Structure 1
Amino acid sequence: MDQKLISTYADLIIEKGINLQQGKNVFILTGPGTYYFARELSKSAYRHGATYVQVILDDLDVLSSRLQAQNEEQLTFNPAYMKALDYEMCTEGWSYIRIDSTEERLDHAELDQAKNQILGKAKRRFHEARSKKLMRSQLAWCVCCAPGPLWAKQVLGDNATTEDLMDVLTPILLLDTPDPALAWEQKKAMLDRRRGYLNEQGIEELHFKSSKTDLTIGFTNQARFTGGAESMQDGLQFFANLPTEEIFTTPDRMRAQGYVTTTKPVTVLDVKTEEVRFVFEEGKVVDYSAKEGKEALDSFFSIDEGTRRLGEVALVDETSPIAQSNLIFNSILLDENASCHLALGDGYPTALANGSALSTDEQLHEAGCNTSLMHIDFMIGSKDMDIDATTFDKRSFAVMRKGVFVF
């Protein structure tokens, strides 16, 4: 693979993804198959003035052995040093990078789903303080991807190589431009224009209609569309996803009515799901089915009450570079940026005008923001999706026609 291109990509994540500041520390989570990119990110971080970089491996094959060998009590154990690391990350303002585990999901022994749910729930509770900081954009963070041989074959076919997949990702990541950092600033300006227009309207409801979906979602008057770059309280901006094509907001957790069907595969608790149909009443999933992976949804909905309510509504144009590739990447990072999507679970306080003042679950619920240990995006967009808005002053206007923004 082109080493110069990979180095340029790593620099983009460090400079624009987390917008690394001189003297800061960086935490990188990776699987074994993408460790090569974690190394490049680490080298770039040091070149850009990082004081320390911590890389931690997340290996699903090793996890399979743990699930087989341990009982429920053992599975809930998390080492104290990780809590100390979380505390230091939160108090010292570390940056966080997660490389999507595209290789590891294709290279592990079977995972015991019941045990994996127990372990995952304990782990999410253990890291809840760090997670809340990230959801509130109080730490700079970025989710990115890195090509590997298994993922290349899954996306492009049995004869595809890592280099072939990188060729596909290069224009999506704007690495084929003379100045990728500038190109992402220009992308940000386009997303800013879209979200600015919607925020000026004062949207109370969005109605999603396609051949497989008829869903109305409500919003409080505090909801604000965001997207592109996130802003920290000190004004520092970072891209939580690279690539990104979405503008998104936080819905009223009590206001979703109708049905919706997913249009791309989604991994839920390490299990692939397809053609999932959710039925909502008064904001809550009251019925669901799936062509594939319903057992994972059964486990997902048993985690906590918040998994049955919406935490995010995101709009993505079907003309985005990822959508135009006509590929299923089996990566939530890429697939969610090719399609309008909804997230079940935790909501983003940062997408509420008064979000910074909301510190408890009770305050968040009162503002309409959902809370949960989980946050999973489900893609619902399609080329026959129409979206219409109704404002608080009862005006109606078109947002999308056939999956494309009309403004």
Structure 2
Amino acid sequence: MDDVTLARFAELAVDFGANLQPGQIVSLSGAPGKERLVRAIAERAYVKGAKFVDLAWFDPWIKRARIEYAADDTIEYVPPWYGDRILAIGRERGAAITLSGPVAPGLMDDLDPVRSGRDRLPAIRETGEVVGRRQINWTILPGPTAAWAELVHPDLEPDAALAKLEEQLLHVLRLDEEDPVSAWKARADRLVEVARKLTERRFDALHYTGPGTDFTVGLLQAVQWQAARFSTADGIPHMPNLPTEEVFTSPDPTRVDGVVSASKPLVLIDGTVVRDLVVKFEKGRVARLDSSTAQETMRTIITRDDGAARLGEVALVDREGRIGALDTVFYDTLIDENAASHIALGRAFPFLTDDEETASRMNESDIHIDFMIGRPDLTVTGITTDGDRVPVLVDGTWQI
């Protein structure tokens, strides 16, 4: 990425994604291999008037050492000041910018999968609390690395693989447009309109059918669908995900039944790759979970708390976005989940309703793990309270 492109990348993250306001503290998360991107974002943040850029660094090699050698009764320990740090940024009404994308894919593959599943760092429970209270304006966007590029394009030489990945990411970020902000605003307008229509329909449930998938998800009547744009409690608009192509809501965690098959590999936050994931739900809970890799890791994760085996999100993605058209598995949830419809185990989004009783029924958990279920031949049908069936998404095209 040349200097001009790097500057545009940082500007998109700071000015548009997070929509940083003068005087805000910025929580900036990075990892090895992303140093140049992190520094560019920090510089842009100070240009825009940041009070302070607080860098949070995650090194997966250090996590590997912990899983391999630390005492078993310490694996789930999270220093309390990690959570205190996030809560303090929320109280200060700060901003947050995170760079996604694996830096050491497969690094934990030869370790005890149960121990790997018990250590959820760098995920911090308090992050969900602050986001749920809409205290921060935040964004996540992909930060390419050489290791990630080799995973996505193993048939290319390393330099060519990195150049190809950067080209693709700049395309899905719309940074190949003369005015990427205008392009994003137009796409966001479309997604917000679909979310409005879905909210108005007040479906009682969604029924998904496709290869390896036949399941029904109950919906909560007082919960909205949302897309693209968020706003803090203080009224600061921001784009949490760049790129974003999804329309999403939080379902009824007690009414999920059937079998769903992942359409793409899932990459956990520490780089662990989960392939061929198949989940069976009964009365809202995971009754069976199988995968060809990291199976015991996933089975451990969903026992972390009562809500970890229930759904907190359902998201629909059409075929108008830029990601799916590339026909590439990116091994990064931020990218892959915006190429295909997906669901998430764990934490729901209470800010999607103004009704306290409804919010109390939404799923609670320390985790939030998205996995992709969308494919061209997936059909999503809305079921009304009267039992009528209404096509919603067919062949990747909206029917509402």
Q: TM-score range by the shorter chain?
A: over 0.9
What residue number does 1:115 align with?
115
Distance 1:61 1:151 in 2: 15
Q: Residue deviations 1:311-364, cap 9 Å, x none?
A: 00000013421000000000000000000001011111122242xx47xxxx74
Query: How many residue pairs align between the two structures?
Result: 396
What residue number does 1:301 align with?
302
SS of equivalent residue, structure 1 residue 161: helix
Distance 1:393 1:131 in 2: 35
Question: Counterpart of 1:151 in structure 2: which amino acid?
Answer: W
- CA shift for structure 1 position 197: 1.1
Aligned partner of 2:143 among 136, 143, 146: 146
Distance 2:79 2:234 in 1: 32
1:213/1:260 contact within 8 Å kept: yes
SS of equivalent residue, structure 1 residue 20: coil
The equivalences for 1:320-339 within 5 A come to: 320-339=321-340
Distance 2:277 2:217 in 1: 18
Q: Larger % of helix: which?
A: 1
Distance 1:391 1:350 in 2: 24
Distance 2:189 2:224 in 1: 17
2:118/2:301 contact within 8 Å kept: no
The equivalences for 1:356-395 within 5 A come to: 357=356, 364-365=359-360, 367=361, 369-395=362-388
Return closer, same or farther for 1:97/1:112 CA change in 2, 3 Å cut-off: farther
Distance 2:3 2:107 in 1: 25
Return closer, same or farther for 1:109/1:302 CA change in 2, 3 Å cut-off: closer
Return closer, same or farther for 1:129/1:176 CA change in 2, 3 Å cut-off: same
Return closer, same or farther for 1:50/1:247 CA change in 2, 3 Å cut-off: same
Return closer, same or farther for 1:250/1:74 CA change in 2, 3 Å cut-off: closer
The equivalences for 1:6-405 within 5 A come to: 6-79=6-79, 81-105=81-105, 110-120=110-120, 127-157=124-154, 158-159=156-157, 160-268=160-268, 270-354=271-355, 357=356, 364-365=359-360, 367=361, 369-405=362-398
Question: Counterpart of 1:389 in structure 2: which amino acid?
Answer: G
Distance 2:78 2:148 in 1: 30
- CA shift for structure 1 position 385: 0.7
TM-score, with length taken from structure 1: 0.91
Return closer, same or farther for 1:187/1:304 CA change in 2, 3 Å cut-off: same
1:264/1:275 contact within 8 Å kept: yes
SS of equivalent residue, structure 2 residue 380: strand
Q: Residue deviations 1:188-243, cap 9 Å, x none?
A: 10111111111111111111111221111111211211011112222211111100
Unaligned regions of 5+ residues in structure 2, if any?
Answer: none
Return closer, same or farther for 1:107/1:40 CA change in 2, 3 Å cut-off: farther
Distance 1:331 1:210 in 2: 23
- CA shift for structure 1 position 264: 0.3
Return closer, same or farther for 1:271/1:23 CA change in 2, 3 Å cut-off: same
- CA shift for structure 1 position 310: 0.7
Return closer, same or farther for 1:56/1:112 CA change in 2, 3 Å cut-off: farther
TM-score, with length taken from structure 2: 0.93
Return closer, same or farther for 1:264/1:42 CA change in 2, 3 Å cut-off: same
Q: Percent identity?
A: 28
Distance 1:257 1:77 in 2: 34
Distance 1:286 1:309 in 2: 10
Unaligned regions of 5+ residues in structure 1, if any?
Answer: none
Distance 1:309 1:258 in 2: 13
1:225/1:351 contact within 8 Å kept: yes
Distance 2:78 2:371 in 1: 29
Distance 2:75 2:373 in 1: 34
1:389/1:398 contact within 8 Å kept: yes
Return closer, same or farther for 1:267/1:161 CA change in 2, 3 Å cut-off: closer
1:4 has 2:1 as partner: no
Distance 2:78 2:167 in 1: 40
Return closer, same or farther for 1:406/1:372 CA change in 2, 3 Å cut-off: same
Distance 1:201 1:97 in 2: 34
1:72/1:118 contact within 8 Å kept: no
SS of equivalent residue, structure 2 residue 209: strand
1:61/1:109 contact within 8 Å kept: no
- CA shift for structure 1 position 17: 1.2
Return closer, same or farther for 1:397/1:76 CA change in 2, 3 Å cut-off: closer
Return closer, same or farther for 1:257/1:66 CA change in 2, 3 Å cut-off: closer
Distance 1:314 1:63 in 2: 31
1:94/1:139 contact within 8 Å kept: yes
SS of equivalent residue, structure 1 residue 313: strand
